[in-house]
């Protein structure tokens, strides 16, 4: 069988030949890739020469590029373009790759060589990046069981294999639940309040399914505007309850037992490695280095946010009673009331903004902003293969030099999970430029209009481009230290700082242009957009903090006492909530960030990074948001450096001092 995954791609920029790759190619390619890497490791282990950085650490770093590439392709497809076949193949590949990682991490001869270099090598001969790689490899082995006895190593293998399978099952269950639901509206009167674009989208879905009327789904670009604008309270209730039930219904997609098993296995794994909890294990390699530091951080923000949130909630209730005839705000009312109140208080109807936020115009605006900041140019390539015809591909250049390929996948469809994320198909290293991907779920074009984004979708696009910049501008020697391979509570700095350009007048006038006339957003709206960021910031902060607390509660030393997911969740987050809890809903069962993604014991990092980015952006505000010296400093010390040094060292090189929360609190109006 001719398998394109078994060799380097002979395509433009070595891009992925998706048209030639079949599902049946993945498992043979992954097995072959694993064997090739293990062969290379045997060569390292059998080397009779004294272990050195070059013949051990560098040799280890250098093997496995094709396996890494193929694994990335498979798992990225499973997130953005999955099928029953891809899900089956991914579930077959996950244990193979987990066993492979354990075969490396638990290889005693290999670890002895790495330990020898770590303990005996004269590190004066290594540059800072080499020292970081050496330390990362040594710690990686220790933190993955290299010092365990044989029976403990066997236990670790079993635990890791189970966790890999459970994580996949969790995500597949959420996707299945999301796609299984539809709200079929047959009476046009039930569309009251909905934006015209949403009416068109839901009509299009119904037409494709051969049904009369309108079909509302749980996909974010449909669900969020529906609960925000629908005047039909009973329908808002129905779809809100459906969204909150995902993974919590009495069917094969229920995630409660999976959660109990995941947190139990994570704790067992941590104990096996000598830690009291999974959080303690995770935080050893974070800027926030302990559970107490995270809790102190969260609590300090909570103390600042509670007074503002209580005031905002009281104002919402008063408004709901006096203006909307709602005696009590329920879960399905909060977005609706908030939007009505924002429109009244800020004299701003966000639907009036949407014509100025066509996807193409915002995208062109981001390209222009990134040219001003980092001298980047984006050239669309229509010939490079893509995994779906909707995906767009851009060649990225810096000062006429090729820097990256960027894949951009913007719209929801069957087989694509919710949310937005950045990933890579190929990492950056010396003499290799990256292939980066951003995946979103934005409002689709309709028969009469292009894709018109909400302002929240605009900020999401800027956010993901911030992550993409971390990959595109990476300039390191080693893949494992490149791009977003940084401490998890530092990874959101580039993405969250990029959101600031959404709100600055100089930038707004670049990206916000009417899709019909090309005219810039009127000045009266420009001034109001900045106020959106601070609207109900207390309530928003409390919600983020509640998720941070919930995450930590699943991964600290008492996690083994959790027997009932819903009961536990309620006990943790009820102090942050003003709305009555709903028995048939459960947030945890669709909390993909911590049970499917990489944010376990790390959800606090969104707020942590927000503190850092607010402090960092102050320098741009002082010098000008397009100041070339400031952006060059940010690129040279943050974006290009990846994980080559401790993040605080990199941050201080950029900013000259450590961050503090005052910039964020002032910006949010919390002090």
Answer yes or no: is pLDDT of 110 > 70: yes
* Residue 253 contacts residue 177 (beta carbons within 8 Å): yes
Query: DSSP for 258-297?
Result: HHHHHHHHHHHHHHHTT-SSHHHHHHTTSSS-SHHHHHHH
Longest dimension (CA), the chain: 83
CA distance 89 to 605: 32
pLDDT at 1 over 60: no
Q: What is the mean pLDDT of residues 560-580?
A: 94
The residues near 620 (Cβ < 8 Å, ≥ 6 apart) are 500, 627, 630, 631
Q: Predicted confidence band at 124 (pLDDT cuts at 50, 70, 90)?
A: confident
Look at residue 671 in the predicted model and tell me its pLDDT.
74
Concatenated DSSP letters of 163-195: HHHHHHHHHHHHHHHHHH--EEE--GGGGTT--
The pLDDT of 416-432, averaged and rounded, is 94
Whole-number average pLDDT of the chain: 94
Q: What percent of the chain has pLDDT over 90?
A: 90
**Tens digit of pLDDT for each residue in 214-226?**
999 999 889 999 9
Every domain of the chain and the residues it spans = 4-147, 181-244, 355-535
pLDDT tens figures, 61-92: 999 899 999 999 999 999 999 999 999 999 99
Q: How far is 144 from 270, CA to CA, in rounded Å?
A: 10
Question: With pLDDT > 70 as the criterion, what percentage of the chain qualifies?
Answer: 99
210: exposed, middle or buried (Cβ count in 10 Å: 0-12, 13-18, 19+): exposed
Nearest to 501 by CA among 400, 379, 411, 630: 630
377 as an active site residue: the answer is no
Signed CA dihedral, 231, 237, 242, 247: sign only: positive
Those residues with Cβ within 8 angstroms of residue 373's Cβ, 6 or more apart along the chain or in another chain: 626, 628, 631
Instruction: Kindly name the residue from 177, 200, 464, 610 that is annotated as catalytic.
Output: 464
Paired tokens of 149: 């006895």
Cα radius of gyration rounded to whole Å, the chain: 25
- At the topology level, CATH places domain 355-535 in 1.10.1370
Top CATH class, 4-147: mainly alpha
165 vs 172: CA distance, rounded Å: 11
- pLDDT tens, 390-415? 999 999 999 999 999 999 999 999 89
* Residue 197 pLDDT: 87
Q: Tell me, what's the pLDDT at 557? A: 84
**pLDDT higher than threshold 60 for residue 153:** yes
On the question of pLDDT at 121 being above 70, the answer is: no
347-381 pLDDT, tens digit each: 988 889 999 999 999 999 999 999 999 999 999 99
pLDDT of residue 530: 83
The predicted structure's pLDDT at residue 470: 98
Output phi, psi for 95, to 5 deg.
-65, -30
Q: Left (φ > 0), alpha (ψ -120 to 50) or beta: where does 187 sit? A: beta
Whole-number Å distance between alpha carbons of 355 and 645? 44
Contact 613, 445 (CB under 8 A): no
Q: Which of 545, 79, 103 is nearest to 306 (CA)?
A: 545
When pLDDT is averaged across residues 121-140 and rounded to a whole number, the result is: 88
Question: Does position 138 have pLDDT exceeding 90, yes or no?
Answer: yes
Instruction: Quickly tell me which residue has 């539809």 as its tokens.
Output: 182
Q: What predicted TM-score, i.e. pTM, was given to this entire model?
A: 0.91
pLDDT at 628 exceeding the cut of 70: yes
Mean pLDDT of 165-171: 95
């Amino acid at each position: 069988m001719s398998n394109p995954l078994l060799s380097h791609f002979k395509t433009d920029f070595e891009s992925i030949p998706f048209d030639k790759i079949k599902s049946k190619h993945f498992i043979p390619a992954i097995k072959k890739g694993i064997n090739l890497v293990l062969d290379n490791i045997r060569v390292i282990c059998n080397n009779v020469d004294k272990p050195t950085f070059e013949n051990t650490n560098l040799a280890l770093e250098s093997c496995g590029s094709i396996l890494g590439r193929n694994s990335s392709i498979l798992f990225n497809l499973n997130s953005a373009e999955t099928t029953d076949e891809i899900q089956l193949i991914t579930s077959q590949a996950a244990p193979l790759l987990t066993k492979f990682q354990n075969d490396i991490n638990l290889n005693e001869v290999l670890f002895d060589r790495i330990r020898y270099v770590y303990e005996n090598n004269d590190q004066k001969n290594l540059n800072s990046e080499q020292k970081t790689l050496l330390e990362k490899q040594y710690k990686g082995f220790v933190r993955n069981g290299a010092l365990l006895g044989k029976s403990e190593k066997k236990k670790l293998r079993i635990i890791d294999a189970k966790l890999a399978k459970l994580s996949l099952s969790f995500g597949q269950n959420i996707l299945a639940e999301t796609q299984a639901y539809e709200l079929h509206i047959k009476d046009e009167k039930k569309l009251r309040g909905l934006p015209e674009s949403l009416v068109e989208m839901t009509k299009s879905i119904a037409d494709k399914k051969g049904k009369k009327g309108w079909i509302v789904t749980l996909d974010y670009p449909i669900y969020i505007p529906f609960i925000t604008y629908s005047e039909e309270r009973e329908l808002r209730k129905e779809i809100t309850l459906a969204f909150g039930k995902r993974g919590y219904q009495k069917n094969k997609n229920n995630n409660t037992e999976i959660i109990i098993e995941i947190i139990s296995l994570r704790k067992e794994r941590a104990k096996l490695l000598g830690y009291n909890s999974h959080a303690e294990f995770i935080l050893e390699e974070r800027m926030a280095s302990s559970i107490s530091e995270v809790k102190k951080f969260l609590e300090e923000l909570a103390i600042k946010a509670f007074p503002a949130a209580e005031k905002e909630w009281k104002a919402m209730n008063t408004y709901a009673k006096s203006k909307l005839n709602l005696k009590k705000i329920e879960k399905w009312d909060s977005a609706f009331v908030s939007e009505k109140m924002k429109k009244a208080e800020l004299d701003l109807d966000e639907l009036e903004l949407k014509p100025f936020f066509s996807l193409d115009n915002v995208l062109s605006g981001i390209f222009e902003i990134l040219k001003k900041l980092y001298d980047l140019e984006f050239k669309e390539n229509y010939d490079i293969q893509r995994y779906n015809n909707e995906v767009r591909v851009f060649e990225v250049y810096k000062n006429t030099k090729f820097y990256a390929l960027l894949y951009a996948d913007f719209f929801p469809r069957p087989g694509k999970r919710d949310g937005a994320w950045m990933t890579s198909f190929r990492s950056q290293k010396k003499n290799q430029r990256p292939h980066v991907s951003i995946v979103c779920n934005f409002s689709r074009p309709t028969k009469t209009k292009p894709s018109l984004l909400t302002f929240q979708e605009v900020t999401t696009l800027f956010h993901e481009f911030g992550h993409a910049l971390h990959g595109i501008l990476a300039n390191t020697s080693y893949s494992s230290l490149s791009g977003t391979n940084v401490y998890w509570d530092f990874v959101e700095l580039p993405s969250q700082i990029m959101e600031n350009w959404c709100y600055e007048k100089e930038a707004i006038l670049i990206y916000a242009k009417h899709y019909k006339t090309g005219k810039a957003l009127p000045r009266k709206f420009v001034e109001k957009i900045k106020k959106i960021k601070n609207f109900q910031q207390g309530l928003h902060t409390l919600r983020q903090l509640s998720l941070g607390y919930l995450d930590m509660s699943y991964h600290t030393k008492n996690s083994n006492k959790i027997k009932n997911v819903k009961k536990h969740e309620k006990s943790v987050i009820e102090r942050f909530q003003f709305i009555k809890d709903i028995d048939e809903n459960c947030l945890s069962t669709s909390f993909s960030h911590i049970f499917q993604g990489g944010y376990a014991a790390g959800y606090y990092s969104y707020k942590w990074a927000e503190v850092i980015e607010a402090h960092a952006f102050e320098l741009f505000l002082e010098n000008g948001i397009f100041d070339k010296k400031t952006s060059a400093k940010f690129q040279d010390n943050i974006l290009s450096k990846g994980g080559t040094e401790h993040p605080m060292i990199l941050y201080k090189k950029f900013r000259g001092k450590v961050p503090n929360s005052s910039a964020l609190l002032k910006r949010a109006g919390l002090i």
